[in-house]
Amino acid sequence: MSIFTLVWNYFKARPLNTAINILLLSLGIAVMTILLLFNKQLEQKITENARGIDLVVGAKGSPLQLILCNIFHVDFPTGNIKLNEAERFAKHRLVKRAIPLALGDSYQSYRIVGTSQQYAELYKAELQEGNWWKNTLDVTIGANVGTIAPLKIGDKFASAHGLAEGGHTHNEHQYRVVGVMKRTNTVLDNLILTNVESVWEMHEEHASEEAHEDHEEHTELRDSSFIPSPLVPSIAKGDSVKEITSMLIQYRSPMGAIQLPRLVNSQSSLQAASPAFETARLFSIMGVGVDILMAFAYVLIFISGLSIFIALYNSLKERRYDLAIMRSMGASRTKLFVSILLEGGILTLLGSVIGLLMGHGVLVLLSGFVEETQKAGIDGFVFYPEEWIILVGSLLLGLLCAVIPAIQAYRTDISKVLAGN
């Protein structure tokens, strides 16, 4: 026999009431937990994916689209830019690193990115097995592409135009997998990397015969005066035909942040977008939805608090005699006060523990069954210190709801109750 046995037996005596109170609270807590986990991990992913990239230079259009497309690979390109125009900024004294990106095709909705080795270095990618891409049409795939698609070394595949599955396929050329990268928990896990030339080759198939010949001629034209392009070394500097989708830029000094964006936007047909600025904007847009859901969670929690208060308050009326009898058996006022407080506290603590488990459970299920969640890298097994705040907060809520009934229990006039008045 202990105060907990007593409280527990009172719960058991009203199973439906107890269950509904716990359920209400746990639903609110679960919504809160899911939002917390989702928001935190998304924020973390976004910062990780944008780390090291100070500026994205691409075709004119929506700056947010430029960022979504070239950093997170979830949107379509704004258009192409001339390689020679990009080169002008790649060589700028304030630029430490410039990485070209050529997008356009995908395989089973995994995007194929024509780029340089520096792109993989940006995310500190390492090889799980095989090699980095070297020759045209060789690809090195991200961890998720290896496991979910699935592709393995030596596999050949044809790419599809665009990002969606079932687009027009380029059957004429097939890519060959030469390596698989280790998991980086960045967007790289969902990409297929190759060189820029491969992407060109895919698309020049569709261009006229003439352009094709141009290309052939071009490679033969290498002589002593050949100066390689800083972005794509196999191409001569200043090539006026070749195009890429965008260029990722890392500044040499903070001065870059002041000068470069303005320089790019004003002096060329190109557009520069800052990942930091655009993601902050994205968060503020998403924030509205999150706030509404959060408000919904608060309403659920408030209602459950009210429901616990009403349940305790009503049950106390029925239990006035119990309380008086317990006093006659030697229970002190304080003991009864504490037992009612505990009843509220344990109820909400149970509710919030169940809610936290439910929240994590939902994300575990989501990441297990929904491919999009898996690709986004949302994990249900991650725990944050904020969850302690939820636990302690709900315990306080329970105590708060129980305080008025507990005071009533404290004040019970035992003689009056026992005399039957």
Partner 1 sequence: MISIHDLSFQYSAGNSIRFPDFTVTKGEHCLLLGESGSGKTTLLHLLGGLLRNYAGSVKVDNTELAQLSEASLDRFRGQHIGFVFQRNHLVSALSVEKNLMLAPYLAGLKINTERITEVLSGLGLAEKRKSSVTQLSHGQAQRVAIARAVLNKPSIIFADEPTSALDDKNCDRVIHMLMDVAAQNQSTLLVATHDQRLKDKISKQVKLSSS
Smallest distance from partner 1 to CB 309, Å? 20
Q: Is 415 in the site for partner 1 (CB under 8 A)?
A: yes
For position 170 contacting partner 1 by CB under 8 A, the verdict is no
Count interface residues toward partner 1 (CB under 8 A). Answer: 26
- State how far the Cα of 383 lies from the Cα of 254, in Å rounded to an integer: 35
Kindly tell me which of 118 and 332 has the beta carbon lying closer to partner 1: 332
Q: Which is nearer to partner 1, 158 or 414 (CB)?
A: 414
**Between 182 and 333, CB nearer to partner 1:** 333
- Region at 103 (left for phi over 0; alpha for psi -120 to 50; beta for the rest): beta
Using CB under 8 A, which of the segments 130-138, 184-192, 285-293, 413-421 binds partner 1? Answer: 413-421
Closer to partner 1 by CB, 9 or 135: give it.
Answer: 9
Strands 156-157 and 95-107: unpaired
- 12 to 31: interface string for partner 1, x by CB under 8 A: xx------------------
| Binding residues for partner 1 restricted to 293-322, rule: CB under 8 A | 321-322
Residue 118, interface with partner 1 (CB under 8 A)?
no
Closer CB to partner 1, residue 161 or residue 320? 320
User: From the list 9, 135, 169, 314, which residue makes contact with partner 1 (rule: CB under 8 A)?
Assistant: 9
Identify the residue among 330, 369, 381, 385 touching partner 1 (CB under 8 A): 330
Residue closer to partner 1 by CB (options 303, 414) is 414
Q: Does 419 bind partner 1 (CB under 8 A)?
A: yes
Q: Which residues ranging from 332 to 351 are in contact with partner 1 (CB under 8 A)?
A: 332-335
Among 1, 227, 285, 288, binds partner 1 (CB under 8 A): 1
325 binds partner 1 (CB under 8 A): yes
Q: What residue ranges bind partner 1 (CB under 8 A)?
A: 1-2, 5-6, 9-10, 12-13, 321-322, 325-335, 414-415, 418-420
